[in-house]
Amino acid sequence: MNQQKIGTQCVQAGYTPGNGEPRQIPIIQSTTFKYDTSEHMGRLFDLEENGYFYTRLQNPTNDMVAAKICALEGGTAAMLTSSGQAANFYAIFNIANCGDHVVASSTIYGGTFNLFQVTMRKMGLDFTFVAPDCSDEELEAAFKPNTKAVFGETIANPALTVLDIERFAAAAHRHGVPLVVDNTFATPVNCRPFEWGADIVTHSTTKYMDGHGAGVGGCIVDSGKFDWFAQADKFPGLTTPDASYHGVTYAEKFGLGGAFITKCTAQLMRDFGSIQSPQNAFLLNLGLESLHVRMPRHCENGLAVARFLKAHPKVSFVTFPSLEGDKYYELAQKYMPNGSCGVVSFGVKGGRSAAEAFMKHLKLAAIETHVADARTCCLHPASATHRQMNDQELIAAGITPDLVRMSCGLEDAEDLIADIAQALDQI
Ligand SMILES: *Cc1c(COP(=O)(O)O)cnc(C)c1O
């Protein structure tokens, strides 16, 4: 097959207008869809025929944008969700239910950690967290007979650890379960986890994919490679008849390429309804059209800022996976040779008060609870997202009181560095 390059896919994949049709993806702002006969609608409800009937489950605008992300990741099927949180919840809950267990990386995004450790535990699921750099023995020991999935982030937010996707995929597959990778920070421009053995990819499209801080959203992509029937007893939801759809067996009827996303749409989106609005999907697509042009600039600015900080006498440490000497540099080079992301963490000598003073003096970088935006922004976790913790608790969570997280935007690196330099000078 003649595979298009990623930049061409960012611009064109997912929607090919016919003669005289709109050039831009149309926003289908309709909750419902009209049919000539009840028999036709009945076939849609039985999943006998493709078609739209209600935007709580599916919408054509969303599907065009999902098809683009599917092409970017090299998957077989994809769906948009209302947020990254919804994407990760659906991706896990589609295969792991009450009484099941999941192995997850301990450095995952705080929102996902909370979703797993608090909310999904209340639903009867069990989780074991392992460090992304744990030993093979520790990883092996995390599995239980009821384990149904392994979960990690290509680049963790905000820990900036890099997942050894091949190693985690091999462990998952040895135990007959899929590897789910949240690829939000790397984006498919910098890393395509399916090429390294991952089975399902999720995204918070809120970040680089949208890229302009305009809309919250998520996406789930299936590689179509995981053989549910080879582990039929572990995944009855995919390999036995669904009574709510006239006894359809998803893996049989929709094949390995379509089963996961069809089940996720037909059951979870139907029942929870965390769909992305078609308006937001349209905005997301505008972001995707330039993702391949923006990502190199975010990475370039991240590296320039990281190098400047590393050499600065008032900076205690710098964490950036593409920076020479970083703990995860080799893994980043392997999985993301063209760049990782634009997010840099560093410490300001003098602790909590020095970090706060530094941020107060910044002029270009705005203080925000956000990352991966066109505009540079920064956050002091100790006084914002983690402010309920004392210094000891912070250190246990891997966050030092002096840590600043900076998300480098698309501005000129010289201006960003000048801004950081003047703010450091004033403390
Ligand atoms: C932001 C983020 C999420 C959550 O996404 P929302 O769109 O905010 O719901 C999940 N995973 C990662 C890696 C994130 O950065």
With a 6 Å cutoff on the Cβ, whether 216 touches ligand 1 is: yes
Q: Examine the domain organization and report whether 415 and 298 are in the same domain.
A: yes
| pLDDT value of position 19 | 97
Mean pLDDT across the chain = 95
One-letter amino acid of 320: F
Q: What is the mean pLDDT of residues 111-126?
A: 96
How many domains does the chain divide into?
2
Q: pLDDT for 174-229, tens place per residue? A: 999 999 999 999 999 999 999 999 999 999 999 999 999 999 999 999 999 999 99
Q: pLDDT for 307-322, tens place per residue? A: 999 999 999 999 999 9
Share above pLDDT 90 across residues of the chain, in percent, rounded to a whole number: 89
Q: pLDDT for 26-37, tens place per residue? A: 999 999 999 999
With a 6 Å cutoff on the Cβ, whether 376 touches ligand 1 is: no
Q: 325 pLDDT exceeds 70? A: yes
With a 6 Å cutoff on the Cβ, whether 157 touches ligand 1 is: yes
| pLDDT value of position 410 | 98
Look up residue 132 and give its DSSP letter: T
2 within domain boundaries: no
Contact criterion met (CB below 8 Å) for 164 and 319: no
With a 6 Å cutoff on the Cβ, whether 184 touches ligand 1 is: yes
407 within domain boundaries: yes
Q: Examine the domain organization and report whether 265 and 402 are in the same domain.
A: no
Please give the distance of CA 288 from its chain centroid, rounded to a whole number. 14
Distance 324 CA to ligand 1 centre (A): 27
| pLDDT value of position 394 | 74
Q: Examine the domain organization and report whether 280 and 347 are in the same domain.
A: no
Using alpha carbons, select from 206, 163, 208 the residue that is nearest to residue 321: 163
316 within domain boundaries: yes
Report the 10 Å Cβ neighbour count for 361: 14
pLDDT-based confidence at 289, cuts 50/70/90?
very high
CA distance 281 to 53: 18
Distance 281 CA to ligand 1 centre (A): 16
Q: Which of 40-49, 131-140, 342-351 has the lowest mean pLDDT?
A: 40-49
Q: Examine the domain organization and report whether 322 and 256 are in the same domain.
A: no
Contact criterion met (CB below 8 Å) for 235 and 148: yes
Q: pLDDT for 381-395, tens place per residue? A: 888 878 777 787 777
Task: Find the CATH number of the domain harbouring 231.
Answer: 3.40.640.10
Pocket test for ligand 1, best of 85, 216, 407 (most atoms within 8 A of CB): 85
Beta pairing class for 77-81 and 218-222: antiparallel
Q: Examine the domain organization and report whether 251 and 334 are in the same domain.
A: no
Q: Examine the domain organization and report whether 270 and 335 are in the same domain.
A: no
Using alpha carbons, select from 228, 152, 137 the residue that is nearest to residue 196: 152
Q: Examine the domain organization and report whether 374 and 298 are in the same domain.
A: yes
Angle at 78 between CA 75 and CA 84, to 5 degrees: 115
Full domain range(s) for residue 357: 292-425
Q: pLDDT for 132-156, tens place per residue? A: 999 999 999 999 999 999 999 999 9
pLDDT-based confidence at 295, cuts 50/70/90?
very high
| pLDDT value of position 2 | 59
| pLDDT value of position 407 | 98
Q: pLDDT for 234-283, tens place per residue? A: 999 999 999 888 899 999 999 999 999 999 999 999 999 999 999 999 99
Residue 156 Cα: closest atom of ligand 1 = 13
Domain termination residue (choose one: 271, 286, 301): 286
Q: Examine the domain organization and report whether 83 and 232 are in the same domain.
A: yes
Q: Examine the domain organization and report whether 263 and 342 are in the same domain.
A: no
Task: Find the CATH number of the domain harbouring 302.
Answer: 3.90.1150.10
Contacts of 370 (CB under 8 A, 6+ apart): 213, 377, 407
Q: 173 pLDDT exceeds 50? A: yes
Q: What is the mean pLDDT of residues 59-73?
A: 98
| pLDDT value of position 83 | 98
Distance 204 CA to ligand 1 centre (A): 5
CA distance 208 to 289: 12
204 within domain boundaries: yes
Contact criterion met (CB below 8 Å) for 384 and 158: no
Q: Which helix (H) or strand (E) covers residue 29, if one does?
A: none
Q: What is the mean pLDDT of residues 60-83?
A: 98
Which residue has better confidence, 393 or 326?
Answer: 326
Q: 164 pLDDT exceeds 90? A: yes
> Which residue's CA lies nearest to atom 8 of ligand 1?
84
Q: Examine the domain organization and report whether 261 and 311 are in the same domain.
A: no
73 within domain boundaries: yes
Q: Examine the domain organization and report whether 269 and 391 are in the same domain.
A: no
Contacts of 249 (CB under 8 A, 6+ apart): 238, 239, 240, 241, 242
Q: 1 pLDDT exceeds 60? A: no
| pLDDT value of position 404 | 95
Q: Examine the domain organization and report whether 76 and 211 are in the same domain.
A: yes
| pLDDT value of position 245 | 84
CA-to-CA dists, residue 368 to 1, 83, 197, 371, angstroms: 44, 18, 35, 8
- Residue 72 tokens read as 């970017």
Distance 415 CA to ligand 1 centre (A): 28
pTM check: above 0.95: yes
Domain termination residue (choose one: 286, 306, 340): 286
Residues linked to residue 348 through DSSP beta bridges, in sequence order: 315
355 within domain boundaries: yes
Report the 10 Å Cβ neighbour count for 34: 7
Beta pairing class for 403-407 and 377-379: antiparallel
Q: 398 pLDDT exceeds 80? A: no
Domain termination residue (choose one: 286, 312, 340): 286
Contacts of 324 (CB under 8 A, 6+ apart): none
